[in-house]
Amino acid sequence: MRVDILTIFPGMFQGPLTESLINKAREKKLLDIRITDIRSFSKDKHRSVDDRPFGGGPGMLMKPDTVFDALSSAAGKLKKNPPRWPSVKKPLVIFMSPQGSVLDHALVEKLSEYRHLVLLCGHYEGVDERALKYVNQEISIGDYVLTGGELPAMVLIDAVSRFVPGVVKDPASVRGDSFFNGLLDYPHYTRPAKFKSMSVPSELLSGDHKLVERWRRDQSINNTKAKRPDLFKKYIKKHKNKGV
């Protein structure tokens, strides 16, 4: 998978993208992550990318021509008002925005089907609306506002990359994670078997694989019911005819 990041602060990505699984995936050529400084498309000697908003108001806006040129450099020829979900073979242009669809498990899986993602990171008061006419998706990581789109882009890359074949060594660990089957994950334990008077559940020490799987499923259901009743209701509704 190729991921293009368009930002005015490329240095912010050096730590998160040069450590752990992301860095290993890049070294193995599983992820081709390219970071582009939007300022390189500025048309003046000061490399400015922003200007005052028409109509007045606080803050500055990123200029449409500069952003458009940056998008074109990463995604190729752009069409105005493109489809939200083009062919997975084509670049998917995403604006990281608090106004966008909230990133969840289902959306992460859908994004992972694409071969090429282009992530536009806004700053200041936002981006001129005319440049956003060439974006496929607006995606948010939650109902709050950050100083820019860089941190949300990092979150998206981290979440999506786990679904790229080969990035996570054991695919079963992805399938067992929270949200994969509509439930939260079950509790995990490791050695020592006793810690500060707390013991590992006997089911996990039994050696009975069926018993372990049943315990984990029950705990996953209980965990979801206690911590995320909203998810539990959706799970029950979906499985009401399956004897859950």
pLDDT, tens digit, 9 for 90 and up, residues 150-173: 999 999 999 999 999 999 987 766
- Of 37, 177, 185, 203, which residue is the catalytic one? 177
Lowest mean pLDDT among 113-117, 129-133, 175-179: 175-179
Length of the chain: 244
The torsion angles phi and psi of 62, rounded to 5 degrees, stand at: -70, 135
**Catalytic (active site) residue 187:** no
Question: Is 166 inside a domain boundary?
Answer: no
- Of 65, 125, 138, 185, which residue is the catalytic one? 125
Tell me, letter by letter, the H, E, C secondary structure of the chain. CEEEEEECCHHHHCCCCCCHHHHHHHHCCCCEEEEEEHHHHCCCCCCCCEECCCCCCCCCEECHHHHHHHHHHHHCCCCCCCCCCCCCCCCEEEEEEEEEEECCHHHHHHHCCCCEEEEEECECCCECCCHHHHCCEEEECCCCCCCECHHHHHHHHHHHHCCCCCCCCCHHHHHCCCCCCCCCCCCCCCCCCEECCEECCHHHHCCCHHHHHHHHHHHHHHHHHHHCHHHHHHHHHHCCCCCC
pLDDT at 244: 47
**In whole angstroms, what is the distance from residue 237 CA to residue 78 CA?**
42
pLDDT at 241: 57
Q: Are 134 and 189 in a shared domain?
A: no
Question: Is 168 inside a domain boundary?
Answer: no
- pTM of the shown model: 0.88
Lowest mean pLDDT among 74-83, 172-181, 191-200: 172-181
**In whole angstroms, what is the distance from residue 185 CA to residue 179 CA?**
8
Q: Are 191 and 156 in a shared domain?
A: no
Q: Are 116 and 191 in a shared domain?
A: no
**In whole angstroms, what is the distance from residue 219 CA to residue 215 CA?**
6
Q: Look at the chain and report how many structural domains it folds into.
A: 2
Question: Is 194 inside a domain boundary?
Answer: yes
pLDDT at 178: 63
Q: Are 39 and 108 in a shared domain?
A: yes
Q: Are 98 and 56 in a shared domain?
A: yes
pLDDT at 116: 98
pLDDT at 219: 96
Burial of 51 (0-12, 13-18, 19+ CB in 10 A): middle
- Condensed to tens digits (0 to 9), the pLDDT of residues 31-85 reads 999 999 999 999 888 899 999 999 998 899 999 999 999 999 999 999 999 999 9
Any residues with CB less than 8 A from the CB of 179 and at least 6 apart, and which? 104, 105, 231
At 177, the pLDDT band (50, 70, 90 cuts) reads: low
- Of 4, 82, 91, 98, which residue is the catalytic one? 98
Higher confidence at residue 89 or residue 177?
Answer: 89
**Catalytic (active site) residue 175:** no
At 21, the pLDDT band (50, 70, 90 cuts) reads: very high
At 232, the pLDDT band (50, 70, 90 cuts) reads: very high
Q: Are 17 and 76 in a shared domain?
A: yes
**Catalytic (active site) residue 162:** yes
Q: How far is CA 76 from the centre of its chain?
A: 23
The mean pLDDT of 206-229, rounded to a whole number, is 96
If you search the block for the tokens 């499923």, which residue do you land on?
A: 217
Domain carrying residue 200? 176-238
Q: Are 57 and 88 in a shared domain?
A: yes
- Of 26, 162, 217, 228, which residue is the catalytic one? 162
**Catalytic (active site) residue 177:** yes
Lowest mean pLDDT among 11-20, 176-185, 192-201: 176-185
The torsion angles phi and psi of 225, rounded to 5 degrees, stand at: -60, -40
Q: Are 103 and 219 in a shared domain?
A: no
Lowest mean pLDDT among 28-42, 180-194, 229-243: 229-243
12-13-15 Cα angle (round to 5): 95
pLDDT at 125: 86
Q: Are 56 and 136 in a shared domain?
A: yes
If you search the block for the tokens 């993602």, which residue do you land on?
A: 117
CATH code of the domain covering residue 199:
1.10.1270.20
